[in-house]
Structure 1
Amino acid sequence: MVQSPDGREPRRSYYVRNPWRTWSSAAFGGASAMLTATTVFYALGRLPLVLVGVSVVLAVAVFGFGLYARLRAARFDAQIGGR
């Protein structure tokens, strides 16, 4: 380990990047944005009902992935903590 000029070792960092946490946040935000855009365009009469159904099914799938990613993030954190 590299020592600082005063002879002491630098303080160790215990931060570990959890890659699943960003995926879960992105999935929840993406599902929300998708439903918001669908609602706005349907209210303006620019989106047929069939495409609304497709959009809702896709948003539910993305939300489900967000739940899965949140579960994986919790497992990742528990594994690091030794629980």
Structure 2
Amino acid sequence: MPSGNSESGSEGQHTQSSLTGLEKEISDKFSQRWEVYRIATHEKGGMEMALDMSWKYSTKQMYDILEMLDVYDALKKMANDKALAESKTRK
């Protein structure tokens, strides 16, 4: 996986220009790309997986993992929103 914070190639949908303010600040301030920090800090990723990014996974695999984390987060949010809505209707 390439190091640094600029996106090379067209793999994945995450590019430096699509980062939020906080994500860009983190990418600019620290040596790893935002995507590595996202994987390292995610409950389904973790530091071990982030460390493996440099030798065990290709850049395409990294973006596949990020996509899976995004889907996981979206499904978790939908379930939480549904539970919250149901709890409000019961009151």
Higher helix share: 1
**TM-score normalised to the size of structure 1?**
0.41
- Tell me which of the two structures has the higher relative contact order, counting C-alpha pairs closer than 8 angstroms and 6 or more residues apart: 1
Q: Which one has the largest radius of gyration?
A: 1
